């Protein structure tokens, strides 16, 4: 048996092992899904996650809000302008 055959067999063996490990992982996930957590545990975990959140300061929140509002106004104006332009073009085409 040459080196290439040995390498191919080793590679195939690792692929089989990976497939078996993946199947075992899927089975574990299915079993885990069957277990339900209670409402109290869920709320406890939610509270823990919310403590990890870095909340924006009042100044950051104000800045972000202004940026969003300005962006919305600009884009709305742009779309409105295009709508008026195209409607006039269409009316000119059909009236002439």
Task: Give the tens place of pLDDT for each residue, 18-77.
Answer: 777 777 777 777 766 667 778 999 999 999 999 999 999 999 999 999 999 999 999 999
Dist. CA 70–CA 62, nearest whole Å: 12
Q: How many C-beta neighbours within 10 Å does residue 77 have?
A: 10
Dist. CA 51–CA 69, nearest whole Å: 29
Structure tokens at 81: 């302008």
3-state SS class at 94: helix
Dist. CA 7–CA 28, nearest whole Å: 31
pTM of the model: 0.49
> Does 2 score more than 90 pLDDT?
no
């Amino acid at each position: 048996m040459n080196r290439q055959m040995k390498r191919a067999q080793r590679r195939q063996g690792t692929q089989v092992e990976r497939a078996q490990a993946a199947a075992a992982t899927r089975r574990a996930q299915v079993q885990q899904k069957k277990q339900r957590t209670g409402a109290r545990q869920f709320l406890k975990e939610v509270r823990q996650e919310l403590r990890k959140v870095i909340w924006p300061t009042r100044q950051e929140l104000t800045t972000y809000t202004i940026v969003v509002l300005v962006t919305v106004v600009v884009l709305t104006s742009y779309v409105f302008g295009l709508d008026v332009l195209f409607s006039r073009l269409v009316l000119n085409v059909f009236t002439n």
